[in-house]
Structure 1
Amino acid sequence: MRAIFHYLLHSVLVLLGIAALSSDNVHAGEITIAFAGDRPPYFFRQNGQDAGIELDLVRLIMGNAGHTIKVVNIPKIRMLKSLKEKEIDGATTVQENNDEKLFFSDRYLDFQNIVISKAKHDIRLKSLSELKHYSFIIWQDGWRNLGPDFEMDYRPDANGIFPKNYNQAFNQLSQNKMFWADRVQLIIIDKNIFEHYKNLLSKEFDTSVPLTYHDLIKSKTSYAVAFHQASLRDQFNEGLKKARANGSYQRVLDNYR
């Protein structure tokens, strides 16, 4: 009898294990992932198709779990709200916060931001605190991303009004245009994005003029992907580890250089 009991117990445990594996695979299929705006080379439209480093990475990583990606392009400030309301399954390029209703992946992408001016303005900066003397343009909600001191200086007041020298762009095309049109003195931007638009806008503006690169931002801005399901977060983290280990992560980055 004891042998029969152990046999039946083993059989039940095996069946439960199979059920658990099946449950993990229930979500395999198409998932909806939001990407924020037009930010080449990270995310953009090319020949009528979505492309970019972020999209290729997410496709690679989640493809290991059997998922295909349905792309949704929404403003960055609406991403987490849409995710909480389950309008989407995941949101890219977010910074981890303490929201217990969402599940944040490991860091999957780093932006190296830099401050740039035209040499003709003869601007010399030693720290970010000196930005208060100049007008500059940054990405949407950029005041949140460069440390507590920067956030303290440039967060909007109770009426949503920013300091006069602070400007933020709805998208990075307009951000770059404002800089090249001399509507601001400085631009704060990821170096890869700046170089892309420098080439793109060369017919509209003289982008060959001498520039000064102010290397004030030593730390990289790291981003995660947020999900409303822990299982999707776990699948992403596992796929990310594999992609970094086998070199496929780096190959995606190299394709856009």
Structure 2
Amino acid sequence: MNYAKPKPRYLIPLRLAIYSSALFAVVHLHAEQGKLTVAISTDMPPYVMDSGSQGLEVDIVRQALEGYELNFVQMPLSDVQNAVQDKKADVAIGVLMNGGDIFYSDHLVTFVNFAITKKSDDIAIDSIDDLKTHPVLTWQNAYLELGDEFQTLFAPGAEYRSNYHEFGDQAKQVAQFWKADKQVIVIDRSIFEFFSKAMKQSSDSVEYHSIFPPVTEFKASFKDKAVKDTFNKKLKEMCQNGKYVKLLEMYDVELEATVCDKLPQ
């Protein structure tokens, strides 16, 4: 009769050690996968505030990615657009689709942009074409986001580019508007009013010229499709249960229509 040789006792703890190491590696991997670096703009209240620690965009992302450990990294808007492609972040908030081997969410936030002038300047702005003879103050890459006619006037190399001035910091953009006369600021109304109030300037002294599309909507970009799918699912739930509208109310953002109205059913 053949008997199996008993395995040396020292192999048992060795196998346990190998198993424990493998288990630790798997747990560690899942822990790392639960951490996300999120690229977000520099402060532009009420969307991003207090060095990226709060704001409408920040809270939307926190709720939509609940369960993940999020590390928000602020950078200029021009860098946010390509942060995932450039491997600077796992997620980038407030971007437009521009291809690349990445994944885009449904629209998550809406901006309502106006051309704004001081009433005392008495500048008539009835169309985008009326902007070309005035200093125009915008955010970074605005020429890519406000339609073909605006881009034709102010893209790099365009005829009226010298009248076009971009700001990475929208507080400085608003400050420059209040500093000098005969300028036109192109900006989201909520951002403009927030900074103007902080600077003790009254929005009653300005004219809002509605010459752009009713809203400009932005997405999030993702390195991982599964994370993007989770985000979309949660965002839809926030729309359905009223949490999205509550965030708008909390940050005093008034919209005639929200991204929730366009989410796929």
SS at match of 2:53: strand
Q: Which structure 1 segments of 5+ residues have no match?
A: 1-24
The offset of 1:88, in angstroms, is 1.2
Structure 1 residues 136 and 85: CA distance shift in structure 2, 3 A: closer
The offset of 1:213, in angstroms, is 1.2
User: Which of 31, 49, 54 pairs up with 1:51?
Assistant: 54
1:37 aligns with 2:42: yes
What is the distance in 1 between the residues matched to 2:94 and 2:104?
11
- Give me the TM-score of the superposition, normalised by structure 1: 0.81
What is the distance in 2 between the residues matched to 1:61 and 1:37?
21
**Equivalent AA in structure 1 for residue 92 of structure 2:** A
Structure 1 residues 120 and 109: CA distance shift in structure 2, 3 A: same
Q: Which structure 2 segments of 5+ residues have no match?
A: 1-29, 253-265
Native 8 Å contact 2:132 2:160 kept in 1? no
1:219 aligns with 2:214: yes
What is the distance in 2 between the residues matched to 1:170 and 1:115?
18
- Give me the TM-score of the superposition, normalised by structure 2: 0.79
SS at match of 1:82: coil
What is the distance in 2 between the residues matched to 1:140 and 1:184?
21
Aligned residues between the structures:
224
1:60 aligns with 2:63: yes
Native 8 Å contact 1:118 1:209 kept in 2? no
Higher alpha-carbon Rg = 2
Native 8 Å contact 1:178 1:184 kept in 2? no
**Equivalent AA in structure 1 for residue 77 of structure 2:** K
Q: Which residue of 2 aligns with 1:235?
A: 230
The offset of 1:85, in angstroms, is 3.7
Native 8 Å contact 1:140 1:169 kept in 2? yes
The offset of 1:208, in angstroms, is 6.2
**Equivalent AA in structure 1 for residue 143 of structure 2:** W
RMSD: 2.2
